[in-house]
Amino acid sequence: MILNRIKSYTIILVLLACLLGGKESMACTAVADEYTYNHKEMIKQSGNIYLAKAIRKSLDNKVITTTFEVIDAIKGSEKKLVTISFPDFEYEANSSIKFMNDFSLHSDGAFWKDGSGRSQVLTGCETIASFKLGYVYLLFPDFISNSKGAEIINDTSDKWYGLVKKNVKANLK
């Protein structure tokens, strides 16, 4: 009887902690529309799209800012540098595979599903991506929280890079 009462109190305390703990303790129930936005519309509606190399990182007030050197301004304003900031998040070792994934130069069918890409959604519904210095990324600054908003490009034969360039060129004519 005492054991049952302890179990009941424990359950009540855990539920109270979840309710009072704020959004960090709750699972994300609905990601922002931007995260799963259709890649074709994302390309069309983006004001700026850049192929850029990560050259510098800084941490300030739990925010990691990565500076990129622009290699190719595919769409939008010509810039030499672009910066992207995300909340500081140390991903677990098994998650690092996803963060460094280029989906076999984006020929893997899994990448082409809506909502699939390198970015991750945290329990508080924040979207994050991690960048490694020296790596090249296809960046959509207007849609950086999209699952495909910051993809690794290991080669110019990459299918995602090629599709984006082709669609931008077709829409500019």
Tens digits of residue pLDDT in 20-53: 444 343 455 554 555 556 778 888 888 999 999 9
- Assess whether pLDDT exceeds 80 at residue 140: yes
Element (H, E) at 121: strand 120-121
List pLDDT tens digits, range 92-123: 544 445 556 666 677 767 776 766 666 665 55
pTM, full prediction: 0.72
CATH of segment(s) 28-172: 2.40.50
Structure-token pair, residue 60: 């300030």
Would you state the pLDDT for residue 122?
Answer: 53
Evaluate whether 59 touches 74 at the Cβ level (below 8 Å). no
Residue reference for tokens 């500076």: 67
Q: What is the H or E stretch that residue 139 is in?
A: strand 136-139
Q: Which amino acid is at 152?
A: I
